[in-house]
């Protein structure tokens, strides 16, 4: 970790210092100024922006190292700047408080954007090494003289809005050499360190996950749970995005979901997630395992970037992404499978995920993770190749190796894929599949029973294929390999006593289904 300490200010630098709160500001401070765009014609000066070196950074320090409400300005101030020009800009804040931790630095740093935009005549855009600030001519006309006034106003807002900040101190820099030096030596390594958190932060390291219900308009029972090890299905929202959104708008589409009790460390089941899911889905389902493919899988909204599908013939899982137009080895295209799976249902045998989930250390770990994966399109495989463990990477087929189940079988046998002789789950060393009967010579039923753990209640006698379920209304069943037919129909939630048809091992062609109430002729 990069050491957190006060920066050194060169002895020969031009420095202005001011301590203590400001009595009065020559500008208004209000959220109504958010989004105010200062046009080039109205601009006094530009700080940072496309042409200059710039950064903003928050550092958490021990209490005794922060001098409260002190501002140090290194370099020229506003009254020494030329109208219409742009200048380098660095904003550094030291913060302290009993609840202030290094982990909070990025969250606090992002608020600089909000608070500075509350200042009339001051426009703040972007973040980190990309900030872009403009000060309006009008603000200067109204009495803005110094960047110290800006720093004092920002610090005041920090302390008012985030009371856990007990002490705050600012160092603003317009001296090009010093901005460059701090950016290179301190800020960049810290930004990099934070980004590595995406890979190193895990479900067990946090207290809360975040929900996303942006998709509920068309998938009413869908609740996306975003955890450090599981980004949203659409690929857009990480745990960090969820946290940022929930902090700004706690009642918005991203809410904090307390984890509660850990019920299944391998499948990723938490009591808090179950309770939340039950409430938000209107009771539609009450258990979710975040890292499971077969047992209480996460619901699939319809936005997912990739769909996973179980192929009983090889006892393995294939994945196909939205951009792959051809049928997968199971004979189905992405859009066909997506149409069957979307709508906010738990569908056994199919799972929608975001591409970023392939990076997860817990990627379907309950069902063998990468060692259960047998097929994916070349384009997708190349995109995530570096996250695939080396010892399995070449054993996963692409369309170049196999286009049909038969070709896939041949390929898997040739490369000795783990599914052939049985998959050992990496996370706990448990053997979770038996391997292929013709290879390991086990009785057929026993082998095929394994993938069906997901639906023991519905299919106590093991079936080769997941059972076909027709949940409610009459509908033509397409002549396809058998699987569940989820029907994202709003009426389904309304009907408490639905009809469930379970048909096993059958090819079905149905001309018409007539449903009648009891006693009706």
Out of 22, 36, 275, 313, point to the residue binding other proteins (CB under 8 A): 36
**Whole-angstrom distance, CA of residue 435 vs CA of residue 418:** 8
- Of the candidate spans 3-11, 57-65, 126-134, 289-297, the one that interacts with other proteins by CB under 8 A turns out to be 126-134
- 331 scored as a contact of other proteins (CB under 8 A): no
Q: How far is CA 62 from CA 6, 70, 164, 167, 327, in A?
A: 11, 16, 14, 10, 59
Residue 379 structure tokens: 């384009």
Site string for other proteins, 46-75 (x = CB under 8 A): ----x-------------------------
- 42 scored as a contact of other proteins (CB under 8 A): yes
Q: How far is CA 104 from CA 3, 54, 158, 195, 411, in A?
A: 15, 22, 13, 14, 49
- 142 scored as a contact of other proteins (CB under 8 A): no
- Residue 356 CB, shortest distance to other proteins, in Å, is 5
Q: Which is nearer to other proteins, 71 or 301 (CB)?
A: 301
First-residue to last-residue Cα distance in the chain: 75
- Of the candidate spans 8-16, 68-76, 302-310, 425-433, the one that interacts with other proteins by CB under 8 A turns out to be 302-310
**Residue 56 phi/psi, 5° resolution?**
-140, 145
- 37 scored as a contact of other proteins (CB under 8 A): yes
**Whole-angstrom distance, CA of residue 58 vs CA of residue 250:** 24
Out of 22, 180, 241, 275, point to the residue binding other proteins (CB under 8 A): 241
**Whole-angstrom distance, CA of residue 158 vs CA of residue 490:** 46
CA dihedral of residues 315, 320, 324, 330 (deg, nearest 10)? 30
Q: Which is nearer to other proteins, 135 or 468 (CB)?
A: 135
Q: Which is nearer to other proteins, 233 or 332 (CB)?
A: 233
Out of 29, 236, 415, 477, point to the residue binding other proteins (CB under 8 A): 236
Residues 6+ apart with CB under 8 A from 252: 245, 246
Out of 8, 12, 41, 83, point to the residue binding other proteins (CB under 8 A): 41
Site string for other proteins, 97-116 (x = CB under 8 A): ---------x---x--x---
Half-sphere exposure of 173 (CA within 13 A, CB side): 25
- 339 scored as a contact of other proteins (CB under 8 A): no
- Of the candidate spans 299-307, 361-369, 410-418, 453-461, the one that interacts with other proteins by CB under 8 A turns out to be 299-307
- Of the candidate spans 28-36, 372-380, 475-483, 493-501, the one that interacts with other proteins by CB under 8 A turns out to be 28-36
378-408 burial string, b = 16+ CB within 10 Å, else e?
A: eebbeebeebbeeebeebbbbbebbbebeeb
- 323 scored as a contact of other proteins (CB under 8 A): yes
- Residue 119 CB, shortest distance to other proteins, in Å, is 14
| Residue whose tokens read 């990739």 | 306
- Of the candidate spans 29-37, 179-187, 493-501, 510-518, the one that interacts with other proteins by CB under 8 A turns out to be 29-37
- 128 scored as a contact of other proteins (CB under 8 A): yes
- 235 scored as a contact of other proteins (CB under 8 A): yes
- Of the candidate spans 12-20, 63-71, 229-237, 370-378, the one that interacts with other proteins by CB under 8 A turns out to be 229-237
Count of residues interacting with other proteins (CB under 8 A)? 44
- Residue 112 CB, shortest distance to other proteins, in Å, is 10
- 253 scored as a contact of other proteins (CB under 8 A): yes
Cα torsion 492, 286, 198, 114: sign: positive
CA–chain centroid gap for 290, Å, is 13
Out of 355, 376, 388, 396, point to the residue binding other proteins (CB under 8 A): 355
- 435 scored as a contact of other proteins (CB under 8 A): no
> What's the length of the chain?
521
The residues in 209-228 that bind other proteins, with binding defined as CB under 8 A, are 214-215
**Whole-angstrom distance, CA of residue 275 vs CA of residue 258:** 10
**Whole-angstrom distance, CA of residue 320 vs CA of residue 109:** 39
Half-sphere exposure of 149 (CA within 13 A, CB side): 22
User: By C-alpha distance, which of 43, 19, 3, 57 is closest to 179?
Assistant: 57
- 324 scored as a contact of other proteins (CB under 8 A): no
Binding site for other proteins (CB under 8 A): 34-37, 39-42, 50, 106, 110, 113, 125-128, 130, 132, 191, 194-195, 197-198, 214-215, 232, 234-238, 240-241, 244-245, 253, 302-305, 322-323, 355-356
């Amino acid at each position: 970790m990069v050491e957190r300490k006060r920066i050194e200010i060169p002895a020969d630098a031009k420095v202005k210092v001011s301590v203590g709160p400001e009595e009065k500001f020559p500008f208004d401070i209000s959220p109504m100024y958010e989004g105010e765009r200062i046009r080039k014609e109205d601009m006094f000066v530009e700080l940072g922006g496309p042409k200059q070196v710039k950064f903003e950074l928050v550092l958490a320090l021990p209490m005794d190292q922060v001098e409260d409400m002190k501002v140090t300005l290194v370099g020229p101030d506003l009254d020494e700047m030329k109208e219409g020009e742009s200048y380098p800009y660095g904003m550094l804040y030291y913060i302290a408080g009993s609840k202030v931790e290094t982990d909070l630095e990025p969250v606090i740093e992002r608020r600089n954007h909000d608070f500075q935009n509350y200042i009339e005549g001051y426009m703040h855009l972007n973040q980190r090494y990309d900030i872009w600030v403009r000060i309006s001519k009008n603000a200067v006309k109204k009495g803005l003289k110094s960047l110290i006034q800006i720093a004092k106003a920002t610090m005041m807002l920090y302390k008012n809005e985030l009371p856990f900040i007990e002490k705050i101190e600012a160092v603003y820099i317009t001296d090009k050499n010093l901005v460059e030096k701090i950016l290179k030596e301190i800020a960049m390594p810290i930004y990099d360190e934070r980004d590595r958190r995406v890979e190193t932060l895990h479900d067990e390291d946090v207290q809360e996950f975040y929900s996303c219900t942006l998709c509920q308009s068309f998938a009413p029972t869908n609740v996306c749970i975003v955890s450090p090890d599981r980004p949203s299905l659409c690929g857009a929202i990480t745990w960090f995005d969820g946290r940022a959104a929930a902090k700004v708008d706690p009642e918005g589409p991203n809410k904090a979901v307390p984890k509660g009790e850990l019920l299944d460390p391998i499948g990723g089941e938490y009591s808090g997630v179950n309770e939340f899911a039950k409430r938000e889905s209107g009771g539609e389902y009450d258990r979710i395992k975040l890292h499971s493919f077969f047992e209480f899988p996460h619901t699939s909204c319809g936005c997912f970037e990739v769909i996973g599908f179980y192929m009983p013939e090889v006892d393995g899982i294939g994945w196909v992404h939205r951009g792959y137009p051809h049928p997968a080895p199971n004979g189905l295209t992405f859009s066909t499978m997506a149409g069957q799976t979307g709508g906010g249902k738990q569908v056994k045998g199919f799972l929608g995920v975001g591409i970023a989930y392939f990076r997860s250390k817990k990627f379907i770990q309950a069902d063998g993770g990468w060692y259960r994966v047998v097929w994916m399109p070349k384009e997708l495989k190349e995109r995530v190749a570096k996250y695939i463990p080396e010892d399995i990477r070449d054993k996963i087929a692409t369309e170049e190796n196999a286009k049909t189940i038969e070709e896939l079988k041949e390929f898997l046998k040739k490369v000795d894929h783990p599914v052939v002789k049985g998959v050992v789950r990496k996370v706990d060393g448990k053997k979770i599949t038996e391997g292929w009967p013709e290879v390991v010579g086990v009785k057929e039923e026993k082998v095929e029973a394994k993938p069906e753990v997901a639906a023991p209640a519905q299919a106590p006698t093991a079936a080769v294929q997941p059972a076909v379920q027709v949940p409610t209304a009459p509908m033509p069943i397409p002549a396809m390999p058998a699987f569940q037919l989820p029907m994202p129909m709003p009426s389904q939630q309304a009907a408490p006593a639905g009809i469930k048809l379970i048909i096993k091992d059958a090819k079905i062609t149905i001309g018409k289904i007539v449903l009648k109430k009891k006693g009706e002729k």
